[in-house]
């Protein structure tokens, strides 16, 4: 688990500014790295593995490496050809597991179709699992024990706590049950003593359940599926979804929530883009720093 992290001035009207929060978190991470280096004689190291040449994945890998370097970390970027075998990828993961200069390992997903991602995720040392996807990471989260948490839900939790303070006793609904967002998000909310409902494609009367929630986390990947008039007045809405749709003759990026209507009812809401998205890379940096401290036997860094 991670300590509560707060940030001032992330609300403009009732819009939660994820970009501003991520910048503030990045500044705190950068300030913490010199103390780690002084204690260990090295900088935290993050390794990112890309298989193939998918343009979007290439952009993500470059941006992660650039951010790591900007904050003062070591960045190790490994690119395997599209034709790489399962054995070659697993061998690279084993090499990175054994490399003492590497504190965090992230294998960029999705992998090419001929590769199975699950054995790759399971091969990563849980102590270096900065993506928080290893079954041991999931088990530690469910058990309330210290571990590395999936980046996107961790970012959502940070935004919620910065906006609301304590989440104890609040009614929360998570719409979506993926291992990437929905399930870990529910566990994180439970760890903060919220009362949590997990909804999904077979949930009956979703509108009524959303209308009861003080916190709505939308993570289904279906454009504007959650209607604005479902939102309880004053609720906090975290929209994880991103979909491209055609509106007025042009492509636009929208979330899972009908933002235009929801923002008139919500106490606070994340926009798409500019809400949850900017948090994902920065929480990856947070996890890399956390992993480095724990591997070195140091206390977790104070990033408040």
Angle between helices 277-295 and 18-40 (to 10 degrees): 20
Encode burial over 179-198: b for 16+ CB neighbours within 10 A, e otherwise: ebbbbbbbbbbbebebbbbb
Structure tokens at 204: 């009956």
Please say if 64 is a catalytic residue: yes
Can you tell me the distance from the alpha carbon of 51 to that of 58, in angstroms, rounded to the nearest whole number? 9
- Number of residues assigned to the chain: 304
Phi, psi of 224 (to 5 degrees): 50, 35
- Please give the radius of gyration of the chain, using alpha carbons only, rounded to the nearest integer: 19
Catalytic residue (one of 64, 128, 232, 263): 64
The answer to whether the CB of 89 falls within 8 A of the CB of 51 is yes
The answer to whether the CB of 252 falls within 8 A of the CB of 272 is no
Q: Is 205 exposed, middle or buried (0-12, 13-18, 19+ CB in 10 A)?
A: exposed
- Residue 138 Cα distances to 36, 149, 150, 185, 201, angstroms: 27, 8, 9, 11, 23
Give the helix/strand (H/E) hosting 47.
strand 45-51
8-state DSSP, 129? B
Where residue 164 falls (left for φ over 0; alpha for ψ -120 to 50; beta otherwise) is alpha
- Residue 193 Cα distances to 85, 174, 184, 189, 304, angstroms: 44, 15, 14, 7, 21
Catalytic residue (one of 125, 129, 131, 214): 131
Q: Is 283 helix (H, G, I), strand (E, B) or coil?
A: helix
Active site residues: 64, 108, 131
């Amino acid at each position: 688990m991670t300590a509560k992290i707060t940030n001032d001035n992330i609300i403009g009207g009732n819009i939660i500014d994820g970009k501003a929060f991520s910048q503030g978190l990045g500044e705190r991470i950068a300030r913490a790295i010199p103390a780690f280096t002084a204690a260990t004689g090295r900088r935290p190291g993050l390794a990112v593995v890309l298989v193939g040449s998918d343009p979007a994945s290439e952009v993500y890998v470059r941006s992660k490496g650039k951010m790591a370097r900007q904050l003062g970390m070591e960045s190790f970027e490994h690119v395997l050809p599209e034709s790489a075998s399962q054995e070659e990828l697993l061998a690279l993961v084993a090499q990175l597991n054994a490399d003492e200069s590497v504190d965090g390992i992230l294998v960029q997903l999705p992998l090419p179709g001929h590769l199975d991602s699950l054995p790759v995720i399971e091969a990563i040392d849980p102590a270096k699992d900065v993506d928080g996807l290893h079954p041991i990471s999931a088990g530690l989260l469910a058990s309330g024990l210290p571990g590395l948490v999936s980046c996107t839900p961790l970012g959502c939790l940070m935004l919620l706590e910065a906006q609301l303070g304590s989440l104890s006793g609040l009614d929360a609904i998570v719409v979506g049950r993926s291992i990437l967002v929905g399930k870990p998000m529910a566990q994180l909310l439970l760890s903060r003593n919220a009362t949590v409902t997990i909804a999904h494609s077979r949930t009956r009367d979703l509108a009524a359940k959303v209308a009861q929630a003080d916190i709505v986390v939308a993570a289904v990947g279906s454009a504007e599926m959650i209607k604005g008039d479902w939102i309880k007045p004053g609720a906090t809405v975290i929209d994880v979804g991103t979909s491209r749709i055609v509106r007025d003759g042009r492509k636009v990026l929208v979330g899972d929530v009908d933002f235009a209507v929801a923002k008139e009812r919500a106490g606070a809401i994340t926009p798409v883009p500019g809400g949850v998205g900017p948090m994902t890379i920065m929480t990856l940096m947070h996890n890399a720093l956390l992993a480095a401290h724990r591997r070195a036997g140091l206390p977790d860094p104070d990033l408040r």
